[in-house]
Chain A
Amino acid sequence: MNIMSEDAKTILLLCGHLGGDSGVEPLNQRDYNTVVRWLLENKLRPADLLADDRALQMAQGTGLDQQGLLDLLKRGVKLGFAVEKWNQSGIWVICRSDPDYPARYKTHLKDKAPPILFGAGERSLLQGGGLAIVGSRDVDAAGETFACKAAEHCARDGMPVVSGGARGVDQIAMLSALENGGTVLCVLADSLLRRSVARDARDALADGRLLLISPYHPEAGFNVGNAMGRNKLIYALAEYGLVVSSDFQKGGTWEGAKEELKRESGRTVFVRSESGAPKGNRELLKIGALAFPVDGFTNSIRDALEKAVRAKIIPQALQFEPAKDVTKKSVIPPVSPPVETKYDDQSLIQPAMVKEPSLAATQPVASALCSVLEAVKPLIIAALDKPKTLTGLANVLKVRKPQAQDWVKTLISEGVLEEQTKRNVKNIAIRKPYEELKLGG
């Protein structure tokens, strides 16, 4: 039995649409992040807000509408009905505070990571990875074949296929992956419940090879805004993206790819660039996408993609335009394979983390050492997805142990990292509150 934690229930009360006629508006992403920051500052957890006085305190502390907040928190019975109904149909709910919430969303989306996810299927698939395969509904035969092949190779290589479940490329890729014994992660923009009982999904769900998730209510209908909004969730769950066919300057695929290419900590986006590929594909190459490697289908598709990423890293960074705010896109390599990087241009590389006022205040003054540290800080954080020993960390980063030790020491003093001793072994880990902040909550 899946009993939700009190924290998760509280988050749902604050942010969730619980269906049907409603007199209150749940918090949007921005306001929710505000609440989380307040909680962290006051060393509280979401469940603490279930006490009226705390809720009032929080309202005062954040400036959010007091009555609105109280009304949201009073919705317990409606929550009970909604959760029971979803569970009954095999749909579970997870929140950012849950341990199996996709780490990739926290890492790559930070405070844009959705506070709530609804899902059906094997929860362990939430760790994600693999290749996001996307494309428009109208795709020619060549595109279809390509999508099929790409999915097939992913399946063979043990790479999950991530997609949006839309008609056309998405569904072709999904079907192909499943038929070839692979796993599929599908981020839906609508109708999660209906999709979970559809014939083509049932068996794969039962076998644990399909995961359906959505940040939207399980019975939400289709709307264009939601469809657009979930595009980044598709990319962020994967290691790489692959656009099979895109329109030029219109359509969900184009907008989604463009958004991903512009996004700081976006995934590398490949496009099908064989002759005959639509104009949209070619245009994407001009704004930062990579051509799908020619040897992509020769042997291991993972290796081919990996190689292509490494080959293009530096020129890729040069093409990039600074974003409006302070942070620039830094190339964050995929979580597992270590990448050797040489960053010496400070203007290109900036800390990828959210600049929380409280944190910024504790940053030491920039010095030569720190600028390199700032450069590698994202790599260190990424490498510490799971706590590691100092030796382990040094290996992953491919630096000498004393160097790693220096960096770790500084980061510990900044409150970013901490030591954890487990069974007499000293591990380095990301300090929890920092992680929450970095993740946006």
Chain B
Amino acid sequence: MTYLRTALGQADANFRPGQWESVEAILNRRRLLVVERTGWGKSMVYFLATRLLRNAGSGVSLLISPLLSLMRNQLEAAARIGVRAETINSTNPDDWIRIEQELRDNKIDILLVSPERLANDKFREKVLAYIAERVGLFVVDEAHCISDWGHDFRPDYRRIVRVLQALPGNIPVLAITATANDRVVRDVISQFGKDIQLVRGPLVRDSLKLQNITMESPAARMAWLAKVIPSLPSSGIVYTLTKRDAERVADWLRNNDIKAEAYHADVVDDGGGAPQRETLEQQLLKNEVKVLVATVALGMGFDKPDLGFVIHFQRPASVVHYYQQVGRAGRAVDEAFGILMHGEEDDHIADFFIHSAFPPQKHVDVILRELDKVDGGLSVRELESRLNLKHSQLEKALKYLSVELPAPITKIGAKWNVTAAAKAYRINATYVDAITAIRRAEQTQMQAYMAHKGCLMEFLAKALDDPQAGRCGKCAECKGQPLLSPEYDHDLANRAAIFLKRSHQPLLPRKQWPSGNALPTYGFTGKIGDALCAQEGRALCLWRDAGWGQLVAAGKYEADHFDDELVGACIEMIQQWNPTPAPQWVTCIPSLNRPKLVPDFAQRLAMALGLPFHDCLKKIKANPPQKEMQNSFQQAQNLDGVFVVDQATLPAGSCLLIDDMTDSGWTFTVAAAVLRRAGCPAVFPLALALNSPRMD
């Protein structure tokens, strides 16, 4: 009790129901699953348990969590009772050596490790080996990920579960989560393999006010956000399904004078020391931004007591996902808004995620077949050079196969090997079908929620098997009218539509040739270097996207001619882009199959720019369509010796290099290198469309 009060800095603090019992159970070396909403104080349980265990001579507590680090207020509370926590994950490798030493010196009380790190054998053997011998408490955060039936399929958790099952009975285990329905709870308990106690509390939030809005067009939704957000209390979060949408919406809001930042797994560090994601979280906590526009990457463990609103730009995959995100609002404030918006692209995105959840059997077959041919295994790069699979597809399949039991593959050193189990291995189709069926059912349930005419909170609570489900009296349905008007400004929507159209995509130049000798005719290997590198380029739009994307597709596949409107759009883009040193002439990527399509467009663009067009890049070799090549090695190899420059007609000065579509960027890279080698000082790639960057 004293410790609790010290930690919270409150002389009159008391344990919440179940907190002390949980700590006690851990001290008795029991195993515990705690299902309580955010803010109940799950971290306090393991802080106190750690403090008491350490007092008795125990080793460090190991906390497995996807969090980047514990929240500042949590760290402060821990520090007050002398519990020191450190993190080891992929964002702070420079700290690892120091932390390792401090672990050996027994200065650290809690070590936070991400599930991916834990699944990495080398990491386990090098960094964790020493402390693993004396870990006194094993804590698994986001424990619902252990459940296969749960909404989060995380391969790394499958391995964590097996580690749990292999632990002897004298190691206490604490599993915690803020979202789980009965089925998930039952599944987690059964997977623990031993008797495990359950501590469970109500999940609903009293002060949260829910509303659903259906608005088909993204532009309309963006207009609505721009108008409504400034009027909402405090600061909050807008959730999107894809990183691209997070960036675009954040951009749009900033254009409308709203302090917004994008947050997703790939936000670029500003080089200021702390990882960018942590900086953004801090900004939101301190209300220095009005809104973070985020993907699911912002979620795990983020806790802001005065979060004023959580708006979903698109419909999430399941009720449990939705609640996990919206349930962050309304913790310690009187009123908070949870708005769910739904539009025309939602089903398409949901289908994409459902389809790509498991690697296809034929990918698995070719990978196993290739590995079986050799003794000593193959590295990922070697597999890429032998198989026409995307890097991401390869990684996904390898990851999936490596956590199957018995695993058909195993990694020894840097090479993947097949095991004896590979011979009889097939993806468990029943399992895949069952999971897919569940995902579909979840999708249907979300659709039902959107259409629900009764109490929204009750619907969610029932879906989570909360025994205290009942009418909230606060949501839009209970009130019988919208909390926030779904009206949007049509002018604003038009501006949003134009904004979407104007989403020029930068094309960053490649800096490295693929490893292995993909381009022997040219002799390109290693770094690309300043002498051969292309400049940063531009793509007008995203393939088939709303706006120009449709027009480009029509031009390529229907009319065999690109509309003049696209010429105008490119001019505008070039003006905004302002490539320097300004290009003096225009050329394009030649094609043997469609010799007129692109050159014709390039000529018209050149004329409109007042620049000469020179057809000096020639294609001397036929090759299969670039889009059929799935990974870097294949894509580059497909271009070997394909282009030459007609030296006689090569003009002086930098040039604009035009193509209709770009995907991996290898065509531009190789063509630019050939031009540079022939003497061109700078090459600016320009494509009409950029093909499907990753959805997620």
Contact = CB atoms under 8 A, between A and B. Distances in A.
B130 A23 contact: yes
Interface-centre pick from A23, A77, A80, A83 (highest chain B CB count, 10 A)? A77
B167 A80 contact: yes
Nearest to A202: B420
Contact of A23 (B133, B163, B170, B377): B133
A1 B132 contact: no
A21 B129 contact: yes
Contacts of B407: 88-90
B419 A197 contact: yes
Contacts of B164: 80
Nearest to A22: B133
B170 A50 contact: yes
Interface stretch (A67-75, A226-234, A277-285, A415-423): A67-75
B410 A197 contact: yes
Contacts of B410: 88-90, 193, 197
B199 interface: no
A81 B162 contact: no
Interface string B374-398: 1101000000000000000000000
A76 B172 CA distance: 10
Q: Does more than half of chain A's interface fall in helix, strand or loop, or is it mixed?
A: helix
Nearest to B131: A77
Interface in B477-496: none
A79 B168 contact: yes
Interface in B401-423: 402-403, 405-407, 410, 412, 417-423
Interface stretch (A2-10, A97-105, A126-134, A387-395): A2-10
A192 to B, nearest CB: 12
Interface string A34-48: 000000000000010
A206 B423 contact: yes
A205 B166 contact: no
B133 A74 contact: yes
A80 to B, nearest CB: 4
Nearest to B375: A199
Nearest to A1: B405
B405 A88 contact: yes
Interface residues of A, number: 48
B162 A121 contact: no
Contact of A10 (B133, B135, B168): B168
A326 interface: no
B134 interface: yes
A338 B332 CA distance: 82
A194 interface: yes
Interface in B262-313: none
Q: B-side binding surface: helix, strand, loop or mixed?
A: mixed
A236 B132 CA distance: 36
B130 A88 contact: no
Contact of B162 (A20, A88, A202): A88
A90 B377 CA distance: 16
Interface in A262-318: none
Q: Which of B129, B136, B166, B412 has the most CB of A within 10 A?
A: B166
Contacts of B170: 50-52, 73-74, 76
B169 A50 contact: yes
Contacts of A84: 159, 162-163, 166
Interface in B459-504: none
Contact of A85 (B124, B126, B133): B124
A50 B163 contact: no
Nearest to A73: B170
A366 B224 CA distance: 102
Most buried by A among B130, B136, B159, B165: B165
A318 to B, nearest CB: 48
Contacts of A356: none
Contacts of A47: 168-169
Given A19-B125, A74-B59, A83 B166 contact: yes
A120 interface: yes
B129 A197 contact: no
A9 B406 contact: no
A130 to B, nearest CB: 21
16 contacts: A18-B133, A20-B125, A20-B126, A47-B169, A71-B133, A71-B134, A77-B135, A77-B167, A78-B132, A78-B133, A84-B166, A85-B121, A90-B407, A90-B419, A194-B412, A206-B420
Given A47-B168, A73-B170, A90-B410, 15 more contacts: A1-B405, A3-B193, A9-B167, A19-B129, A74-B134, A76-B168, A77-B132, A77-B135, A77-B163, A90-B406, A90-B419, A121-B420, A197-B420, A199-B374, A203-B423
